[in-house]
Structure 1
Amino acid sequence: MDWQLDRNLKKPLYKQIADFIEQGISTGMFQPESMLPSERILAKELGVNRSTIVAAYDELQSLGIVERKKGSGTRISTDIWGFSHKRIPNWGRYMEDGSFLPNLPFVQRIRTEIRKNNVINLSSGELSPTLWPGEQFRTIFTEHPFMEPLGYDHPKGNASLRQTISEHVSEYRNINILPSSILITSGAQQALHLIVQCLLKPGDAIAIEDPSYFYSLPLFQSAGLKIFYLRVDQNGINPNDVIELYRKHRIRMIFLDPSFQNPTGVSLHPSRRKKIIKISSELGIPIVEDDPYSLISFKDENATTLKSMDENGNVLYISSLSKIVASGLRIGWVIGPPKVIDRLADAKQQVDFGHSIFPQWAANEFLKDPYFDIHINRLKRELKKRRDEIVRRLDEYLYGEVEFITPEGGIHIWCRLKQPFNDKQLLEESMRKGVSFVPGSVYGSGKGYVRFTYGRGETEQIEEGISRFTDALNACKQK
């Protein structure tokens, strides 16, 4: 057998062998009814234990690809392409071969555990139910009958909602654009997917922040992009690093979260914002600005967006109602040059034939309602209380063991633990203690960091959550 195992792959050896034989059958290398090498001979040839070959043959037998008889050996099924033999698709192979990558294991683990009632959720990047404007939506549903047609809407999204968002971003973000420059999406995530799929190609170089929420998204790797990193300090990224990356790698797009960045909570300094806009204009590099948090600043003024400083149409601006109203509403938008928005809208039509009218109608009514200001002001007050509470408890329970910059907005706090720890071990121990957090490695940072979210857990849960985390950390130290 002129083939060798790749021992550097994460795929188990028996799976590699089974996959190779299955591929060989598909290509005609192995013919129906032909005998496969004996377990001992193949084990010797490939340099593995006989048990590895047994496991590979067992897997092929379970799929109906081979027939095994004691004393007679293993042969390719005589009826592999026939009708009398029922074959089960090798779903594991299909899942491995798919071009879209799964979430990181840490992310999958956390999402599974937080569904349990006894877990205090300091990990999910969303608001708690008590911060949702549920009563106001009930009032809207009662006092404003839904009269919209239920057919397919405009490819860019409902015209009334796009007009309202145009007015909204003008008032709250100082972004002056026409409704034709807006595309309604299923949250910010879909906007990012559309941009990557429609405006970039495999092999293109992009720049993202380090650490960054973008690092945790498989969509960049799935698209075959080359990812380079812009280090984040207490003032955000350094614009000079963009120039350096452009010179070395000809980066084609920059992805930034400049206001109360996820996960660090820091904001890009005003002077750096100006410089990054200037660099974008000089080099012709588009900036994708993800802005979920600028309206929830704990200071009197909202954070300035990059898009409001953009005079040449270099910035694609993404925002949503997920972090300021309710995540389940699934209303987001992307703002950019009309021809770019047309391209993204065409792709969205191919995916889902346009956004559902009902959440668009609900979002439109809420954004127009005078209560919106009341809600945002209440949200900022409540989030600041929770921010103050988690800072207080971190100082109380982990004094001298943790460092952090107190965020001035948003919903996340980024902590560096002074003592080294194992990400997986600490997460598992924390789950056992009944509290969730996100390890810093999920965001591409070096070792030693964790992210807590104070927007999801209730204020009275925060102390208990940090207490449980402290117990988990101490337990790991003793192991």
Structure 2
Amino acid sequence: MWKPDRGSEQPLYQQIADDLERRISYGEFPPGSLLPSERKLAEQLGVNRSTVILAYSELRSLGIIESQTGSGTRVSKFKWGMTPRHTPNWHRYVEGGSFLPNLTFLRRIREALQKDKSLIDFASGELGADLSPVEEINQLMLENHYTEYLGYDNPQGFVPLREALVGFLSHYRNIQTTDSSILITSGSQQSLYLITQCLLAPGDAVAIEDPSYCYSLPMFQSAGLRLFRLPVDNHGVKPEDIRALYKKHRIKMLFINPNFQNPSGALLHPERRRELLEVASELGLPIVEDDPFSLTAYNGSPPPPLKSMDTIGSVLYIGSLSKIAASGLRVGWMVAPHSVIDRLADARQQMDFGLSVIPQRVAAQFLKSAHVQPHLERLRMNLQFKRDLLMEALDRELPGLITYTAPQGGLHLWCRIIPEVQDNRLLEEAIRQGVIFAPGSVYGSDSGYVRFTFARARAEDIGPGIAKFAAALRSTIR
């Protein structure tokens, strides 16, 4: 006899309701037939009676079954003419799509932040309002009025923005390109989505860092890709590991975040950069370089991107304004060979006919303005200040219970908790205490790691936030 799967994320009552609906639709229980009592079905399935009550309630709300006192529960008879009419089982559709939902922890974090605005937020990977160039962007919008027709734009992106990016990338990242080799996206995540959907096929093997932000994106599994991990130490990935993965699994693409890696904060060593490009050239292996944090280097000397060292076109370069200006602008970019840009622009047009021209125009004005350099200098100074506040609070509140390596750029501090702890228990206790963070397992690590993002929280909340986290941790390990 069928039994519900207790290891499934789907609630037991929903599994039971879905199974009964299937059996009814197959004719096992014809219209008007009597179903087992709640108590009997609970005994058969090895669940609590309350679980069966919920399952019957679900089917009753869909009009599939009817219950009458003294007569038991029966399959509904035809109520609307000669054929039955039922509300679609939306749960089955929701569970059956090929695009996977976010990880459970990420959905829990989002739910908690929406429910309680007072939570001190160390989870959201974005800049706080105090770090964004809000006044500068408002000034630019006041100075420039829209007079042109606001229709669909070029699916490759607003031409003036692509032209502005040519100068920006040359000046700040030493990347020499042309506007025809740039695709504007709604951010790095859309760039990754287009790559996984258009340049790879189900069953392809790809390499990602371990730990890695990519691990938190179900889009890779939704695309049917096989993920293989490259361990990250304090100097980034080891090029020889890539060669070994290629030999064993014939990986078709490498995804890497070499500068202030998310979540570890690691900076790929200069010698490893050179070796990595040599391995990619030797194997004909494309590299997807996600570079959101380079310009946050606290010393004011951003490390070079791999793309600036790429002489044969191995690197697809991804960037955005989300981590250096404002995530709400929803402006990112990709630098790639013309054939790749054409393919992805065509797919992009099928999705949404391209971004709104308004944020693209604002971004173009900002990148060409005199505001960029002063903003970046303030951003670096304030990020370093918040990082130092966070580390001081951790040292004060959790001596001997947590270790970390101080990042030299970026928005995140990657920490290892010394005592054994369960991620779910720690997260729930932290939320109860009034603070939230990202568990390390979201990024592929074992339990016992946490990522604190210090860019979103206000400076005055960082100390109290870590005190709340310390209370949650001590309560969890007690």
Pick the TM interval, shorter chain: over 0.9
Task: Provide the residue aligned with 1:92 in structure 2.
Answer: 91
Q: Are the aligned partners of 2:122 and 2:457 in contact in 1 as well (CA < 8 Å)?
A: yes
Task: Provide the residue aligned with 1:393 in structure 2.
Answer: 393
How far off its partner does 1:75 sit? 4.5
Matched, 1:445 2:422: no
Q: Are the aligned partners of 1:259 and 1:266 in contact in 2 as well (CA < 8 Å)?
A: yes
How far off its partner does 1:368 sit? 0.1
- Closer/same/farther in 2, CA of residues 55 and 366 from structure 1, 3 Å limit: closer
Task: Provide the residue aligned with 2:184 in structure 1.
Answer: 184
Instruction: Give 3-state SS (helix, strand or coil) of 1:233's partner.
Output: coil
Task: Provide the residue aligned with 1:379 in structure 2.
Answer: 379
**Unmatched segments (≥5 aa) in structure 1:** none
Task: Provide the residue aligned with 1:225 in structure 2.
Answer: 225
Q: Are the aligned partners of 2:259 and 2:303 in contact in 1 as well (CA < 8 Å)?
A: yes
Measure the CA separation in 1 of the matches of 2:463 and 2:394: 9
- Closer/same/farther in 2, CA of residues 374 and 12 from structure 1, 3 Å limit: closer
Of 139-148 and 448-457, the range deviating more from structure 2: 139-148
Percent sequence identity over aligned pairs = 53
Measure the CA separation in 1 of the matches of 2:52 and 2:134: 59
Instruction: Give 3-state SS (helix, strand or coil) of 2:296's partner.
Output: coil
Instruction: Give 3-state SS (helix, strand or coil) of 1:413's partner.
Output: strand
Q: TM-score, normalised by structure 2?
A: 0.93
Aligned 1:303-322 pairs, distance under 5 A: 303-322=303-322
- Closer/same/farther in 2, CA of residues 169 and 85 from structure 1, 3 Å limit: same
- Closer/same/farther in 2, CA of residues 8 and 467 from structure 1, 3 Å limit: closer
Measure the CA separation in 1 of the matches of 2:48 and 2:379: 61
Matched, 1:274 2:310: no
- Closer/same/farther in 2, CA of residues 441 and 81 from structure 1, 3 Å limit: farther
Q: Are the aligned partners of 2:441 and 2:449 in contact in 1 as well (CA < 8 Å)?
A: yes
Matched, 1:350 2:367: no
Task: Provide the residue aligned with 1:367 in structure 2.
Answer: 367
Instruction: Give 3-state SS (helix, strand or coil) of 1:87's partner.
Output: coil
Of 236-245 and 17-26, the range deviating more from structure 2: 17-26
How far off its partner does 1:477 sit? 2.9
Deviation digits for residues 364-394 of structure 1 (CA, Å, limit 9, x no counterpart): 0000001111111111111111122222222
Task: Provide the residue aligned with 1:436 in structure 2.
Answer: 436
Instruction: Give 3-state SS (helix, strand or coil) of 1:325's partner.
Output: coil
Task: Provide the residue aligned with 1:114 in structure 2.
Answer: 113
Measure the CA separation in 1 of the matches of 2:323 and 2:447: 28
Task: Provide the residue aligned with 2:62 in structure 1.
Answer: 63
- Closer/same/farther in 2, CA of residues 205 and 30 from structure 1, 3 Å limit: farther
Letter in 2 for 1:353: F
Q: Are the aligned partners of 2:300 and 2:377 in contact in 1 as well (CA < 8 Å)?
A: no
Letter in 1 for 2:228: F
Instruction: Give 3-state SS (helix, strand or coil) of 2:58's partner.
Output: helix
Letter in 1 for 2:10: K
Task: Provide the residue aligned with 2:326 in structure 1.
Answer: 326
The CA RMSD over aligned residues, in Å, is 2.4
Task: Provide the residue aligned with 2:149 in structure 1.
Answer: 149
**Unmatched segments (≥5 aa) in structure 2:** none
- Closer/same/farther in 2, CA of residues 426 and 6 from structure 1, 3 Å limit: closer
Measure the CA separation in 2 of the matches of 1:405 and 1:76: 62
Q: TM-score, normalised by structure 1?
A: 0.92
Letter in 1 for 2:431: M
Deviation digits for residues 20-64 of structure 1 (CA, Å, limit 9, x no counterpart): 332345456665455656667766766667766555444323211
Of 51-60 and 176-185, the range deviating more from structure 2: 51-60
How far off its partner does 1:265 sit? 0.8
Q: Are the aligned partners of 2:291 and 2:319 in contact in 1 as well (CA < 8 Å)?
A: yes
Deviation digits for residues 226-274 of structure 1 (CA, Å, limit 9, x no counterpart): 1111111101111111111112211111111111011111111111111
Task: Provide the residue aligned with 2:265 in structure 1.
Answer: 265
How far off its partner does 1:181 sit? 1.0
Deviation digits for residues 385-430 of structure 1 (CA, Å, limit 9, x no counterpart): 1122222222222222221111000111111111112212222222
- Closer/same/farther in 2, CA of residues 38 and 387 from structure 1, 3 Å limit: closer
Measure the CA separation in 2 of the matches of 1:54 and 1:127: 46
Deviation digits for residues 409-455 of structure 1 (CA, Å, limit 9, x no counterpart): 01111111111122122222222222221111111111211111111
Task: Provide the residue aligned with 1:79 in structure 2.
Answer: 78
- Closer/same/farther in 2, CA of residues 174 and 54 from structure 1, 3 Å limit: same
- Length, aligned pairs only: 477
Measure the CA separation in 1 of the matches of 2:428 and 2:51: 30
Measure the CA separation in 2 of the matches of 1:476 and 1:284: 49
Letter in 2 for 1:153: D
Letter in 2 for 1:100: F
Matched, 1:211 2:211: yes
How far off its partner does 1:216 sit? 1.0
Task: Provide the residue aligned with 1:465 in structure 2.
Answer: 465
Instruction: Give 3-state SS (helix, strand or coil) of 2:295's partner.
Output: coil
How far off its partner does 1:80 sit? 7.2
Of 104-113 and 397-406, the range deviating more from structure 2: 104-113
How far off its partner does 1:147 sit? 2.8
